[in-house]
């Protein structure tokens, strides 16, 4: 061991400080000046870019191991708070000093081998440890203050972007829709996490490092209530109401949680036929199973006791189209239908007002429950875990009620346009359904029909409301002679016989 050889240790608290390098350069320059004044030779530099608030700094620990081998005389450090801000690390350095290893601080002229110098260094180490504890406490207070304001002071989760301190996160226009789509796909129960990961990679969803998501990262996204407007703190178990714009509605988030918990089994669909789960057996009520045989698709009941026969998909399709063509009504009927639907709108407006009042009352009740729950926790009637679990459930329900309140005015404003659209859809239902392709045709099937039932060989097609009422009204007109049809329409208008 050469009597003039030393290690040198420098540290910054964050990686960002290390990238800028100002603090590192200053520390290095001070140590080099100290070494030059004392004729010391620095044989190796140890540079750390980690906080000293907690133990486990890899570079610092490696340096201690080398010092114990006594290959050099000791170590040069800028200041005491650069060596340790927790007392255990300072104790490790103290053990080396007791063993004869020299520790010099370039910015503090302390003789650590004297009682007074050691005491002074111990006091400074305690002050440094207390400083970091106070800093952590103040930081924690600041963060919890932000959480209570509904702000998220940490890095924005995938699908959102940071807008600066004290501002809510904003939806990322590029990745936000992809994250929303991930929730929608997983909620169907047709995707496992592995399959969803592959699908989202194909669609271009990447993490913050622009790499494909891992399974764990994707699962963390699907578990995170931040996307539905809540802020959950995993470490403390606390949940806060966020002020940021929700990426998905709360009901979708709850559906995804049910799938994640196994309440909705994940089933991968091998053959997604047009009438899958749509046609039911007239005897047992079970959905018919679609099968491809010699290039054709057949639907049949698998219960042996049922007398229901199979039906070919093209024949079922023809029956549905034939039923939809019945919606085509003669000229002049549209005006009557629109008037009747307008009357229905007035009734719905009254019902909507009652629903709004009911939701408002329910919202007040949930907020009052939240206040009572908080009082019970403060009075120590509830354990913290039980309190946070109940609080989270109440916040979820409050969020759902608030979402319903926001949606309703928009739907009410568009009601007249929706009424006209409804009538036009009925008039062109058959041709629209024929022109549709693939998934679009499945959507129209759910819109126009409510029940498809196979009785022996006959498929009964029941239209959904209000299309069923429109069909009944249109069929009644077809039995009236042309000369009397105008009087029949007028009589229908006066008696309001259309029940939607």
Residues 230 and 196 placed together within one structural domain of the fold = yes
Q: What is the pLDDT of residues 219-229, one digit of tens each?
A: 999 999 999 99
Q: Could you give the CA distance from residue 468 to residue 473 in angstroms, rounded to a whole number?
A: 9
In the chain, helix, strand, coil percent, each to 5?
55, 15, 30
500 belongs to a structural domain: no
Instruction: Give the mean model confidence (pLDDT) for residues 181-187.
Output: 92
Q: Could you give the CA distance from residue 121 to residue 306 in angstroms, rounded to a whole number?
A: 90
Query: Where is the domain boundary, 119, 135, 151?
Result: 135
CB of 229 closer than 8 Å to CB of 401:
no
Q: Which of the residue ranges 304-318, 376-390, 413-427 would you say has the lowest mean pLDDT?
A: 413-427
Residues 246 and 285 placed together within one structural domain of the fold = no
Say whether pLDDT at 389 is over 90: no
Domain with residue 252: its CATH number is 3.90.1750.20
Query: Where is the domain boundary, 413, 433, 461?
Result: 413
Q: Which of the residue ranges 86-100, 138-152, 323-337, 407-421 would you say has the lowest mean pLDDT?
A: 407-421
State percent of the chain over pLDDT 90: 15
pTM score: 0.50
Longest dimension (CA), the chain: 122
141 belongs to a structural domain: no
276 belongs to a structural domain: no
Q: Which of the residue ranges 239-253, 339-353, 399-413, 474-488 would you say has the lowest mean pLDDT?
A: 474-488
Residues 462 and 324 placed together within one structural domain of the fold = yes
Residues 406 and 432 placed together within one structural domain of the fold = no
Residues 193 and 73 placed together within one structural domain of the fold = no
Query: Where is the domain boundary, 202, 225, 260?
Result: 260
- Pairing of the two strands 296-300 and 289-293: antiparallel
155 belongs to a structural domain: no
Alpha carbon distance, N-terminus to C-terminus of the chain? 98
> Residue 441 sits in which domain range?
281-330+422-495
Q: How confident is the model at residue 310 (pLDDT cuts 50, 70, 90)?
A: confident
Residues 387 and 485 placed together within one structural domain of the fold = no
Q: What is the pLDDT of residues 429-454, one digit of tens each?
A: 778 788 877 777 877 888 888 888 88
Residues 75 and 106 placed together within one structural domain of the fold = yes
Residues 169 and 129 placed together within one structural domain of the fold = no
What integer pLDDT is reported at residue 108 of this predicted model?
A: 74
Residues 296 and 397 placed together within one structural domain of the fold = no
CB of 63 closer than 8 Å to CB of 46:
yes
Question: DSSP 3-state assignment of 105?
Answer: strand
What integer pLDDT is reported at residue 188 of this predicted model?
A: 87
CB of 452 closer than 8 Å to CB of 280:
yes
Phi, psi of 96 (to 5 degrees): -65, -40
Domain with residue 100: its CATH number is 3.40.50.1390
What integer pLDDT is reported at residue 14 of this predicted model?
A: 55
Say whether pLDDT at 329 is over 90: no
Domain count, the chain: 4
Q: How confident is the model at residue 267 (pLDDT cuts 50, 70, 90)?
A: low
Residues 431 and 395 placed together within one structural domain of the fold = no
Instruction: Give the mean model confidence (pLDDT) for residues 457-473.
Output: 77
50 belongs to a structural domain: yes
Q: Exposure pattern of 96-134 as b/e (b: 16+ CB <10 Å)?
A: beeeebbbbbbeeebebeeeeebebbbebbeebbeebee
335 belongs to a structural domain: no
**Helices then strands (H, E): number in the chain?**
18, 14
Residues 98 and 195 placed together within one structural domain of the fold = no
Residues 59 and 13 placed together within one structural domain of the fold = yes
Q: How confident is the model at residue 374 (pLDDT cuts 50, 70, 90)?
A: confident
46 belongs to a structural domain: yes
Residues 6+ apart with CB under 8 A from 365: none
386 belongs to a structural domain: yes
Q: How confident is the model at residue 370 (pLDDT cuts 50, 70, 90)?
A: confident
What integer pLDDT is reported at residue 2 of this predicted model?
A: 62
Q: What is the pLDDT of residues 245-264, one digit of tens each?
A: 999 999 999 999 999 887 66
Q: Which of the residue ranges 121-125, 234-238, 254-258 would you say has the lowest mean pLDDT?
A: 121-125
Element (H, E) at 103: strand 102-105
């Amino acid at each position: 061991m050469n009597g003039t050889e030393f290690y040198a240790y420098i540290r910054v608290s964050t990686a960002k400080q290390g990238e800028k390098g100002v603090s590192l350069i200053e520390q290095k320059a001070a140590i080099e000046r100290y070494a030059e004044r004392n004729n010391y030779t620095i044989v190796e530099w140890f540079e750390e870019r980690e906080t000293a608030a907690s133990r486990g700094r890899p570079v610092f620990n490696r340096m201690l191991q080398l010092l114990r081998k006594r290959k050099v005389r000791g170590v040069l450090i800028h200041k005491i708070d650069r060596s340790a801000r927790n007392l255990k690390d300072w104790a490790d350095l103290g053990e080396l000093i007791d063993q004869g290893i020299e520790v010099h601080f370039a910015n503090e002229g302390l003789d650590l081998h004297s009682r007074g110098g050691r005491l002074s260094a111990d006091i400074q180490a305690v002050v440094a440890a207390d400083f970091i504890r106070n800093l952590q406490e103040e930081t924690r207070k600041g963060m919890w203050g932000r959480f209570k304001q509904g702000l998220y002071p940490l890095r924005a989760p995938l699908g959102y972007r940071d807008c600066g301190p004290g501002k809510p996160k904003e939806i990322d226009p590029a990745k936000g829709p992809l994250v929303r789509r991930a929730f929608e796909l997983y909620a169907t129960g047709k995707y496992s996490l592995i399959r969803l990961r592959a699908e989202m990679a194909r669609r271009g969803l990447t993490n913050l490092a622009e790499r494909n998501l891992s399974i764990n990262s994707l699962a963390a996204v699907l578990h995170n209530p931040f996307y539905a407007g809540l802020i959950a703190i995993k470490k403390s178990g606390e949940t806060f109401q966020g002020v940021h714009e929700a990426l998905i509605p709360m009901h979708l988030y709850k559906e995804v949680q049910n799938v994640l918990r196994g309440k909705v089994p994940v089933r991968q669909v091998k053959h997604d036929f047009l009438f899958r789960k749509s046609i039911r057996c007239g005897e047992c009520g079970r959905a018919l199973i679609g099968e491809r045989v010699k290039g054709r698709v057949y639907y049949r009941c698998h219960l042996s006791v049922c007398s229901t026969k199979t039906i070919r998909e093209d024949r079922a399709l023809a029956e549905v189209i034939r039923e939809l063509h019945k919606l085509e009504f003669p000229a002049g009927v549209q005006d009557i239908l629109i008037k009747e639907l307008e009357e229905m709108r007035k009734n719905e407006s009254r019902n909507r007002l009652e629903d709004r009042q009911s939701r408002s009352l329910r919202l007040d009740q949930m907020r009052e429950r939240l206040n009572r729950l908080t009082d019970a926790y403060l009075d120590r009637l509830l354990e913290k875990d039980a309190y946070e679990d109940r609080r989270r459930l109440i916040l979820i329900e409050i969020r759902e009620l608030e979402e319903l309140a926001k949606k309703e005015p928009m739907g009410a404003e568009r009601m007249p346009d929706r009424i006209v659209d409804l009538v036009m859809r009925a008039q062109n239902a058959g041709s629209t359904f024929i022109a549709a392709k693939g998934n679009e045709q499945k959507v129209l099937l759910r819109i126009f029909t409510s029940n498809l039932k196979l009785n022996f060989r006959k498929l009964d097609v029941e239209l959904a409301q209000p299309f069923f009422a429109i069909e009944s009204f249109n069929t009644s007109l077809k039995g009236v002679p042309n000369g009397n049809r105008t009087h029949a329409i007028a009589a229908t208008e006066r008696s309001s016989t259309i029940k939607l």
